[in-house]
Structure 1
Amino acid sequence: MDTTTAVSTARPASRRSAGPAFLAQRWPTVAALAFALIGTPAEASVEILTEMMMLLPFLYLVTAVLDRPRAVWAVFPASYTAWFVVRALDVVPSTVLIGAAAAVVVVVGAVRGRLRDRRFLVQAAGMIAFGALGLVALAVDPDVARYIVAAGWFLHGVWDLVHHRLRVTVDRSFAEFCAVLDIAVAVALVLV
């Protein structure tokens, strides 16, 4: 074997993609930053951002019940569309609906035998923890609530990164998308 040819054609292990190829690989990050700029209005109230934050663990809970990580890409727009419609109709407080929907999902999970699945139980615990954080934010002074909600978005970003690293529950591309979006919203809440 000619070692000169083998050495000259080998790619350095430390070389990273640059330009469009890198952006194509990091499309969830690019999409999240665009969504943060376009899809999360700067004038969004702390109340709206609190409710949106409470939906984040709901996406993971539903996906855990379905046991199909890629399904999160359908669960995401469906959940936020339903939340937007319920909020616009103003018949039932959206926080009540989010809690009721989460309870229904847990019951469906129990019926499907997911109570023995540690991943499902972790998602149910996450729903409870982030839901409680959201309810606390809704009960306190709006200036304090802004920092509580920022902490919730940031912590959910960390939650996403853990799921991305472990490759569990949701599709990795969604975990990356959600982590970048969550942290961007958290930073915006603190800086505004």
Structure 2
Amino acid sequence: MKKSILFLLLSVITLSSMAQANIAYPSGLSVGEKAPMFAAKDQNGNMVDVQSLLKKGPVVVIFYRGQWCPYCNQQLKKVSDSLSFITAKGASVVTVTPESAVNISKTIEKTKATYAIIEDKGLSIMKSYKVNFLVDDNTVTKYKGYGVDFATVNGDNGANLPVPATYIIAKDGTIKYRFFNTDYRARASVNDIINHL
């Protein structure tokens, strides 16, 4: 029984990886570029203004796919667990997602996140950071088979996801650190984030 469950899980991961191989991924922004400024309401209804946050210190911007993604939940939980080390360096953490507000609540339940989480309505933030891509029809169908319906989890944002990138914006507004990998399983480590603050 355990072998069949393991085989099923490995098959799902393999199919997901193969399905995503046909996607046209964006390039992301590079270190040294000016970071696009944005202001939006977080999960508590508070306005989060990156330009204002930069007056206090660097800003860590993390793009994540959704509460249905175990790799996202794992990364966000690690950031939650180590948040005091990040804020001790004067930094703020802002996460951006295409998922709807109701699903952001599920993310918070799973990760215990207390930092800002922004629903990117209309995808303007993801597009300005060049992390947004449209999931192809075959992958949409495969994900539905796994119980992930983008029309439900993302609402009006539909089948759009970000490459799960992490950027650190320096006080002068330039990007000083970038983690950008189209393999959704690869993530910036908390140690890397802290070491680049």
Q: TM-score normalised to the size of structure 1?
A: 0.25
Q: TM-score normalised to the size of structure 2?
A: 0.25
| Greater strand share, structure number | 2
| Greater helix share, structure number | 1
Q: Radius of gyration: which is bigger?
A: 1
